[in-house]
Amino acid sequence: MDPNTLNIIKGAAGAAGEKVYVEDVFNTTAFKANGSTGQDFVTGLDLGGKGGMVWHKDREYTFGHSIWDTERGTSSVLNSNNSDVPSIYPNSITFNSDGHSVTGAQGNEYTDKTVAWSFRKAPGFFDVVTWNGNNGSSKTISHNLGCIPGLIIARNYTANGYSWAVYAKHGQSGTYNARLLLNSSDGRDNLTTTDWSTDPADFTKDSFTVGSGDLTNMDGQSHVAYLFADGADADAQIFGDDGDESIIKCGSYTGDGGNDKVIDLGWEPQYVLLKNTSAGSTNWRIFNNMTGWIAGVSNGADSTSLRPNTNDIESASQKCYITSTGFKFDTTETAVEVNAQASDNDTYVYVAIRRGPMKTPEDATEVFDDVAYQGTSGAHDVPISPSYADLVFYKRRASSVDNWGWTSRLQGNLAHLTSNGPLAQNSLAPGSNAEANRAAADALEYDRQSSFGLVGTSSGEVNVTPEDYISYAFKRAPGFFDIVCYTATSGNTQEVPHNLGVQPELMIFKSRGATNNWWVYHKDLGASKVIQLDKNVGADTSTTWLNNTVPDENGSVFTLGSDTGNDGGYANWSTTTYIAYLFASCPGICGIGTYTSNGEPQNIECGFSAGARFILIKRHDNNSDWYVFDAARGINSGNDPYVMLNRNDAEVTTADCIDPYSPGFTVAGSGNSNALINYTGENFIYLAIA
């Protein structure tokens, strides 16, 4: 494509060529429906001005999939799971400049867990078009993708009983115009009467051609199509800071029947729609990272998914897992719907959308919240300020028995680790080798926006009335924080990809599949030093745990060495699964560094404007606990409550360790009951968040 044309497309993607990111054009919102009173969805997508499509599905009840788009208006609701004419609910949706609003029960029934996907029109990503059929041999339809479509979903929406016709660019075998049906479990068919042109040249960056089929070209009937760009096309690689990245991929793969099938997208997805095109009686599947699409773990947990061709509730039945660069299927996953036996030679097509945000945050409230909450006599939500959280860790403040709980979206709903012990994911208590899952009544739910959910009251670690708790919520964002799940390689050196986008400065590692300790890398100690998070010991020397290699300066990989380490392994032991939390200094948001204590008050400069809300401090040259201070409980000129990540001790409220300081924080003098973090001549590391 010539530069002038490319600039025009970029200008159409955003006003006057402004930078556009995936978070500007796609959103998943997991929410609790409220019945018929309506809800506002502030997603940041300009659907009112740019146009697009919204898709709702109740996850707990057998309501159909509700689909609106700006071309058909605010009252016409289609269901992907049937061939009925649209239901008319007058003004049931409003398309806003920052999202959408539903005004009644449609897509918002009962008080069930529900999911909403929003697609904004944008070149290189998505478009919605409508046309009237002419019942001729073919009809050419204009579109504004600016690239060749990778997938098109079309529907005759004024005649009753006509299915959704799907065109897939990839995975073609034999007749080019073979179609799929979105509301059917059938495989790809080959029809004499064509819904799509038989000539690949008829699918271009500005138009596509339908044939004479009733599904796409019935005389006198209206049709709608949803077009998805193919991000492999250079014309679709127009997003991000430099306007040269893709945010969507359409493709195909062949099942391998449980041989660790990996689909490499080049980035981590947040949404995948896929279908077996070879076999009949195979459902379409939607996986998304807001409602239980997880990174694999050695206990073989299942990811949840929904089926667009049925009104079924959400189910957890496939070992389809997110990776940092795509998605994969576990070695035990042989289900014909996602990964049939290799001998069957089944072909699958998919649409994948990149995880956001892509933009570096500008305010710490976008990516972090410290919340003090109180347990109740029943389940309730704890509000947090990020639009959603990728990691939450929490502790009952007055308890010297209850453990820390660490949960992340990639671990899955109800899963947890504890930083004051070495146990594997979903274990019960330090010192025990049990690997029983917490009962649903005792856990933290993780599948909603702007909050996390507390379920039940029988676990003191989560939600006992009227006990006080402290929690910390982190959102993944370039330049600030990322989470990576990976599998060790039996001690062999490996490079692990991540999406932090900059060089990690603090990395915390934990085995999910084995009872091993937590290990920490800090930039100022280097790749030959390692510290344990779950103990109070100083740094050890190991030149092999990270292969004596600091993380890549380009912000794309870190290296693990062959050292099996202490207590069974550092971060690359056997073939167990690991999780790594990666932090970087981000201007105005996060500061990572070291200081040497001198017994006198010290101002620690972090580049903040209103002081630190979260501070983690650890002495690294000798024994010391991991001390946590936060603004939710108070960072004051007097005593400052603190808890210790490596202990299940109750919080301490009788020491003045930290004082407020707008550019960062002040380490108080040692005369203020502050022997913890300011003895003379000791060396400390810290992580601070504004």
Q: What is the mean pLDDT of residues 343-372?
A: 95
Tell whether 310 and 266 lie within a shared domain: yes
Tell whether 224 and 260 lie within a shared domain: no
Q: Does residue 17 fall inside a structural domain?
A: no
Q: Domain end: 234, 268, 303, which one?
A: 234
Model confidence over 478-492: pLDDT tens digits?
999 999 999 998 778
Tell whether 195 and 176 lie within a shared domain: yes
pLDDT level of residue 682 (50, 70, 90 thresholds)? very high
Tell whether 179 and 251 lie within a shared domain: no
**pTM over 0.85, yes/no:** yes
Write out the H or E segment, with its range, that includes residue 573. none
Rounded mean pLDDT of the chain? 89
Q: Does residue 242 fall inside a structural domain?
A: no
Tell whether 396 and 453 lie within a shared domain: yes
Q: Does residue 2 fall inside a structural domain?
A: no
Q: What is the pLDDT of residue 193?
A: 62
Q: Does residue 239 fall inside a structural domain?
A: no
Model confidence over 573-625: pLDDT tens digits?
888 889 999 999 999 999 999 999 998 999 999 999 999 999 999 999 999 99
Q: What is the mean pLDDT of residues 34-47?
A: 91
Model confidence over 372-420: pLDDT tens digits?
999 887 777 888 887 789 999 999 999 888 889 898 989 887 778 899 9
600: phi > 0 → left, psi -120 to 50 → alpha, else beta; which? Answer: beta
Q: What is the pLDDT of residue 259?
A: 87
Tell whether 213 and 147 lie within a shared domain: yes
Tell whether 279 and 381 lie within a shared domain: no
Nearest to 221 by CA among 138, 179, 177, 162: 162
Q: Does residue 240 fall inside a structural domain?
A: no
Tell whether 458 and 374 lie within a shared domain: yes
Q: Domain end: 583, 616, 650, which one?
A: 583
Strands (E), 9-103: 26-32, 39-42, 52-58, 66-69, 73-79, 87-88, 93-96, 99-102
Please name the residue that has the structure tokens 């305010």: 363
Q: What is the mean pLDDT of residues 532-561?
A: 94
Q: Does residue 558 fall inside a structural domain?
A: yes
**Domain count along the chain:** 6
How far is the C-alpha of 525 from the C-alpha of 641, rounded, in Å? 28
Tell whether 28 and 111 lie within a shared domain: yes
Q: Domain end: 534, 558, 583, which one?
A: 583
pLDDT level of residue 6 (50, 70, 90 thresholds)? very low
How far is the C-alpha of 689 from the C-alpha of 611, rounded, in Å? 9
Q: Mention every residue, 6+ apart, whose C-beta is less than 8 A from residue 598.
A: 678, 680, 681
Tell whether 579 and 606 lie within a shared domain: no
pLDDT over 50 (residue 427)? no
Q: Mention every residue, 6+ apart, whose C-beta is less than 8 A from residue 345.
A: 254, 278
Q: What is the pLDDT of residue 115?
A: 96
pLDDT level of residue 1 (50, 70, 90 thresholds)? very low
pLDDT over 70 (residue 102)? yes
How far is the C-alpha of 687 from the C-alpha of 384, rounded, in Å? 21
Tell whether 410 and 435 lie within a shared domain: yes
Tell whether 599 and 538 lie within a shared domain: no
pLDDT over 90 (residue 135)? no
Model confidence over 207-223: pLDDT tens digits?
999 999 999 999 999 99
Find the domain containing 537 and state its range: 481-583
Q: Mention every residue, 6+ apart, whose C-beta is less than 8 A from residue 110.
A: 33, 35, 58, 61
Q: Does residue 269 fall inside a structural domain?
A: yes
Instruction: List the structure tokens of 204.
Output: 């271009």
Q: Does residue 280 fall inside a structural domain?
A: yes
